[in-house]
Amino acid sequence: MKYDPQDPILEETAPSTNAHSFMELALRPSVQAWKRKLYGLLAGESSEALSKLGIEQYIRVLLAESKDRSAQYCFSEAVAEVVQEWNSTVLESADRLSRILSLVAGFTPAVGFSKVLTHLERSENVKRSQERVSDEYDRVDLYKRGMLALAQYYPSPPFHSYDDLGFAAYRSLLERNLEDERYSGYAAVRLLELKVLNFKSKQFAALLLTEDKAATSVFQALLELAEEPREVPSVERRFGDMLVTCARADNIQRFERLAQMNRATFDPQGDYQVFFPTLRLSDGTVLEIRLDIDDIKDTPLHEFVKYTTIKVKELLRQETLNEDKIGRYVSGYIDEKINQREAMRDLFDALKALDANMRSSKNKFFVTVKRNNFPIEIKLRVKGEIQEELMKWILTRPALVIQFPFPVASAAA
């Protein structure tokens, strides 16, 4: 950003005779000059610019204006010293606390983690959740702002998480906040992101079924994650885990209510009244809820399961093959009907009518289907106890011989 003396956002910091003015700091940075500037900002100096930019962006403007290569080093040393000198045991003003927490969150000095953690641990009995801050219109949750600052140090779990004492302390803080209704949602989402909490665990099941704010926050976080196309398959599996948990508790309505609270529509019958449950979002996007058929066999969801050769044909006739859906559906059909001779005969007849075939190689099973004169192999998930029976069907049914000049493409590759 180019400095402009007429810029109303920066007019407070226009050049002046003050040795520590905006331009003086930009042209001749030093650790001591930066410390004086930071203490001035924490005390409320340049409040108009702070209210428009926030302390982090305000500082980044100062750094961007500096022509001296040592500016970043001087600032980093200064912010580390200022945070080190912060006495987090003192009940200070909301304005100053808000700014120093923003400073730590924006620039993550090494000492900032322990300082903020100590502050939060000592204030757990009196969490400052509704504070008036002069730079902001709405009341501010300073305890939450502290947790957001700590999150900057652990955006993902460390490689050796159990040997990291800082991570262990952070994890403990989040786990304690699962019991606080105000922060249980945030804590649950963070613990899932850090892989401390597992979607299939009993602890998460208890939160999902009994804690409204935690369950709603997790549901909302997944919907937000689904806005990234590459994350959609993972999100669909996580929704599947949540749906299975609700179904095992005979409380599918719980999942449906969570969807409604997030302006989504849950359809347990899903696609073509066959068991591909879906979530239709407020913008029209449809997410498939991915789950394992074995997980819902003894739950109320099983009544929605319908496997037919009509659906098999529909899936295989589509111009663009949904290999994942075909693999899941045909695998489920086989698992459900392996001992029903007429149903299995219908399946092989349906495949033959579509110039498709089923084959096995090294205890792996595939459906081969032709597209643009090129065969595509779709991998099936066949459980060990029924593989022998399925192999008998493959060996006794007349094989469909397909001659192609090209090698077979494997969907599993």
- Give the residue with greater pLDDT, 128 vs 8: 128
Residue 407 is predicted with a pLDDT of 54
Mean pLDDT, all residues of the chain: 84
Q: Is the pLDDT of residue 49 over 70?
A: no
Residue 342 is predicted with a pLDDT of 94
What SS3 string covers 126-173? CCCCCECCCCCCCCECHHHHHHHHHHCCCCCCCCCHHHCHHHHHHHHH
Residue 30 pLDDT class (50, 70, 90 cuts) = confident
Interstrand relation of 409-410 and 374-379 (parallel, antiparallel or unpaired): parallel
Cβ partners under 8 Å of residue 155, min gap 6: none
Residue 274 is predicted with a pLDDT of 53
Mapped onto helix, strand or coil, the DSSP state of residue 263 is coil
Of 149, 171, 52, 58, nearest to 97 by C-alpha is: 149
Per cent of the chain over pLDDT 90 is 47
CA 165/CA 148 separation, integer angstroms: 19
> Of 121-130, 213-222, 331-340, which gets the smallest average pLDDT?
121-130
Question: pLDDT per residue over 294-326, tens digit each?
Answer: 788 788 888 877 788 988 998 898 888 888 888
Question: pLDDT per residue over 159-175, tens digit each?
Answer: 877 788 999 999 999 99
Q: Is the pLDDT of residue 194 over 60?
A: yes
Residue with tokens 């004492």: 165
Of 9-18, 49-58, 387-396, which one has max mean pLDDT?
387-396
Helices (H), 300-383: 309-317, 323-337, 341-353
Residue 7 is predicted with a pLDDT of 42
Question: pLDDT per residue over 204-238, tens digit each?
Answer: 999 999 999 999 999 999 999 999 999 999 999 99
Mean pLDDT of 175-190: 94
Residue 253 pLDDT class (50, 70, 90 cuts) = very high
Residue 88 is predicted with a pLDDT of 76
Token pair of 82 as six digits: 């200022």
Q: Model-level pTM greater than 0.95?
A: no
